Chain A
């Protein structure tokens, strides 16, 4: 599989960092620390990672075309801001649909027979 489509394998689940970063950027463009905070809050503390995982994930997502870096007015020039692309939005939608289907299957399996 090429690096460009490693996140767009049909039906394949996304890793937790990729999923939460996509979710975070689907609301608005954000810089690194803002993404980390949002991931932590939206997962209710279940998903936490540091700057290393954040930027290795962002790098691969940039290469895959899921996000782009944008020029934004910054208090600190070291801050880097990212925005979701159309490809990223489609990938997130596909992942949410996959989760919905899995949940529906699980619910049906949990219903009493008859």
Chain B
């Protein structure tokens, strides 16, 4: 086996396992025949092989995950982002008391966790694989977090005046010892931009995996019943 065929073996390993199992030997065989064909210069061979790699890889990975699951994961992410946006707007646009903050906090937590869990559950139920459920849960997390963080900064800008007179903000500002309120608001948002998605990722992945495990179990049970 030539070094080129060894390298191509590594390239084949980038395809999803299902596709690799079905077509991996055939891919390597075609490459082997290309190498043996003296009419094809080495540079053209690699140009052709690497040129069509990104498209075919993306297509297979997308299909492997199930285009429908990905779309559903993204839609749930959109729902998560919209709910997060609503929480941002209320949190920053309305001056609320401690009870209000507690309700907002609980809603925020639910908005971060439930869509990821549902996405993981629905994804895994399709093919019984926890990995599929976890991947769709992560798609939900990515879309939801991107929207949530972006609208948090937007809400701070829109309701800037409210931020300056919010008693909770003023108390927190004094505790931090930062020189200006602007510096405090920037610091506060930056922390939330990191902590919010990180918390969502950890909790979403955990609950998404739990949802995926349930979906996987239900999928196997349904197949056993059918058989």
A residues with a Cβ closer than 8 A to B are 32-33, 36, 48-56, 59, 76, 78-80
Contact = CB atoms under 8 A, between A and B. Distances in A.
A54 B57 CA distance: 12
Contacts of A79: 26, 29
Interface in B42-59: 48-53, 55-57, 59
Contact of A78 (B22, B28, B51, B59): B28
Interface in B178-212: none
Contacts of B33: 33
Interface residues of B, number: 24
B104 interface: no
Interface of B: 15, 19, 22-23, 25-31, 33-34, 48-53, 55-57, 59-60
A59 B23 contact: yes
Contacts of B34: 33, 36, 50-51
Majority secondary structure, A binding face: helix
A48 B48 contact: yes
B48 A56 contact: no
B48 A50 contact: yes
A68 B208 CA distance: 39
Contact of B30 (A33, A48, A56): A33
Nearest to A77: B25
Contacts of B26: 32, 51, 55, 78-80
Nearest to B33: A33
Contact of B19 (A59, A76, A78, A80): A59
A76 B29 contact: yes
A104 B49 CA distance: 36
Given A52-B57, A59-B23, A33 B52 contact: no
B199 to A, nearest CB: 38
B28 A50 contact: no
A51 B52 CA distance: 8
A53 B52 contact: yes
B194 to A, nearest CB: 38
Nearest to A58: B23
A56 B175 CA distance: 60
